[in-house]
Amino acid sequence: MADAAESTTPVANDYNEHNRTFEIFIKLLKWGTVAVSVVLILMAIFLL
Q: Which residues contact 18 (CB under 8 A, 6 or more apart)?
A: none
The domain limits of the chain are 14-47
Predicted confidence (pLDDT) at residue 7 exceeds the cutoff of 90: no
pTM of the model: 0.65
The amino acid present at 42, given as its one-letter code, is L
DSSP string, the chain: ---HHHHHSPPHHHHHHHHHHHHHHHHHHHHHHHHHHHHHHHHHHHH-
The pLDDT value given to residue 6: 57
Q: Per residue in 16-40, pLDDT tens?
A: 889 999 999 999 999 999 999 999 9
